[in-house]
Amino acid sequence: MKRFILTLIAVLLIGGCASPGYTNHIYLIPQEYEGSFTVFFNIPGAPELKKEGEFAVIPLEKTNIETLHQTNYSTYGYALTSRKEPYLPKAATYQYNNKYYYIDKAGKRKEIDPYCVHERGVGGNTEANGKEIGYVDVQVTQSECGEDFYLNGKKEYTTQSKEAKKELLINLLSGKSPSP
């Protein structure tokens, strides 16, 4: 019994001291874009993510979301990748150290102030055949930067994200690509 308790304590101590993983993403966001964007993972036929040092580079594209066509939020940012997991290697916890840039048509980057970004988190959907599609949701603004946006995001962008993900997931699961 004593050996069991000592082993249990050792496991808890070692597990509790495990270092966190790092998110290590560089997001390249089309210049002037404001709103939510989603990166979908584990998409067959989608490209692998390129690397810059320890960071995965995620270039975003824009699409129009039909269900939002009568709103100011119909343009949506997204990226697709065949990478299986959002953050590698897998860890119990992650330290966020992502980098965000606006990118112009010539490829020039402009760093985005952290108070102009709200990292909503990671999620996933499971298809009927058991295949999982993971995603990362983020909001970005130029007009409402500040502590409140950094911590809470914007309600309208959250609604935009929910509608866009529904439409994009339906298209992805049926084999259609998002339209520009």
Instruction: Tell me the domain boundaries of the chain.
Output: 20-173
- The burial of 21, by beta-carbon neighbours within 10 Å (0-12 exposed, 13-18 middle, 19 or more buried), is given as middle
122-151: pLDDT as tens digits: 888 877 677 788 899 999 999 999 999 999
H/E element, 100: strand 99-103
Nearest alpha-carbon partner for 79 in 125, 47, 34: 47
45-59: pLDDT as tens digits: 899 999 999 999 999
**CA angle, residues 21, 27, 33, in degrees to nearest 5:** 145
Mean pLDDT, residues 22-30 taken together: 94
Task: Give dist(CA 170, CA 175) in Å, integer.
Answer: 9
Better-predicted residue by pLDDT, 3 or 118: 118
Phi, psi of 157 (to 5 degrees): -70, -35
Cα 35 to the center of its chain, rounded Å? 13
Better-predicted residue by pLDDT, 91 or 57: 57
pTM of structure: 0.83
